[in-house]
Amino acid sequence: MTSTVLVLTALEDVTADLVIGALNERDVRVVRADPADICAGLSFGARIGGGDPSWSGRLATASREVELGEVAAVYYRRPTPYTARYGHLPAQQRDFCTAEARHGLNGVLHSLTGALYVNHPLAVARAEFKPTQLQRFTELGFTIPATLVTNDAAQARGFAAEHGPVIYKPFRGLPVGEDGNAGAIWAQRVDPDTFDDSLSVMPHLFQAEVRKTGDVRMTVIDRQVFASRVEASDGALDWRRGDWSKLIHTPIDVPSPIAAAARAYLDSFGLLFGCFDFALTGDGDQAKHWTAIECNPNGQWGWLPDAPAITEAFADILAQEGGGRP
């Protein structure tokens, strides 16, 4: 039986391209598919029961096909949302088709017995909630900023009086607008004098501003750790809001307690990969200098100086399961 790595992502995904290229060099059979291509671009049939203890059958794209029982590893990147596939339908039909695709096709793809998932989408979903992340950080001994989640203006003002200056950050990115473009709200300083009853409409996340000396993006894949100090040339509070091509990257050694706690964090969610963001309050040689901000369980890393090494780390774990050369 030929072992296959199944890569689930959208057509345009430079990060997935890097990993697929590395797997090809190792003679690993790869099938790339976007579940949202269902219909003319993707067909499948999956069976279980009647003597079959696990899902079997075939998934076919316009160019490749794979037997489900041959999938040894799944690299779950960033598939297109089903809402894009069914967006042309009336609302009721759109919502029904989207739900059926999620529960039907995704349900099968999430349940491939014996396959290694990097990462399993259900594990990603559990780990995406920022309040859950912060709780887990404290349980594992990370330093975090004082944090308030609230929709109450009086509590927000009280928190700012106790911990100011404070910043606001959203829990998630902005959804795609009617014009088809996505926006962003970055972490930003806020004036408590502007807090009013409009806060009651939804939850808000406020944190004490960390008096930082820099930021660190740390990428962990399996047992391997890659870290880079990141600085915005204009000294912006949130380095993500500017021109990423102008970011200043400096290698940094990760204190062993931070690396060990990060691995424990991933293990606690059943993850093999995560992108951690830290604020530094010193030169970074001691764990007490590292303040944990968040962990993206499906983060971007192709823009980092360590991207070639991270690519090989992904290929290491996927090729091991997919039967390719180490």
For residue 119, say if its preceding peptide bond is cis, omega within 30 degrees of 0.
yes
CATH dotted code for 4-119+310-322: 3.40.50
HEC secondary structure over the chain: CCCEEEEECCCCCHHHHHHHHHHHHCCCEEEEECHHHEECCEEEEEEEECCEEEEEEEEEECCCEEEHHHEEEEEECCCCCHHHHCCCCCHHHHHHHHHHHHHHHHHHHCCCCCCEEECCHHHHHHHCCHHHHHHHHHHCCCECCCEEEECCHHHHHHHHHHHCCEEEECCCCCCCCCCCCCCCCCCEEECHHHCCHHHHHCCEEEEECCCCCEEEEEEEECCEEEEEEEECCCCCCCHHHCCHHHCEEEECCCCHHHHHHHHHHHHHHCCCEEEEEEEECCCCCCHHHEEEEEEECCCCCCCCCCHHHHHHHHHHHHHHHHCCCC
User: Mean pLDDT, the chain, as a whole number?
Assistant: 93
What is the per-residue pLDDT for 322? 55
- pLDDT tens for 282-315 read 989 999 999 999 999 999 999 999 999 999 999 9
- Count how many residues are written for the chain: 326
Domain range annotation of the chain:
4-119+310-322, 121-143+211-297, 146-209
Residues of the chain with pLDDT under 50: 325-326
User: CATH for 121-143+211-297, among 3.10.110.10, 3.30.470.20, 3.40.50.720, 1.10.150.530?
Assistant: 3.30.470.20
Cα separation, 59 vs 28, whole angstroms = 18
Q: Which pLDDT value is given to residue 291? A: 98
Q: Which fold has domain 146-209?
A: Dna Ligase; domain 1 (3.30.1490)
Q: What would you report as the CA-atom Rg of the chain, rounded to the nearest whole angstrom?
A: 22
Angle between helices 14-25 and 307-322 (to 10 degrees): 60
Please name the amino acid found at residue 179.
D
- 58 contacts 44 by C-beta, under 8 angstroms: yes
Predicted confidence at residue 180, as pLDDT, reads 67
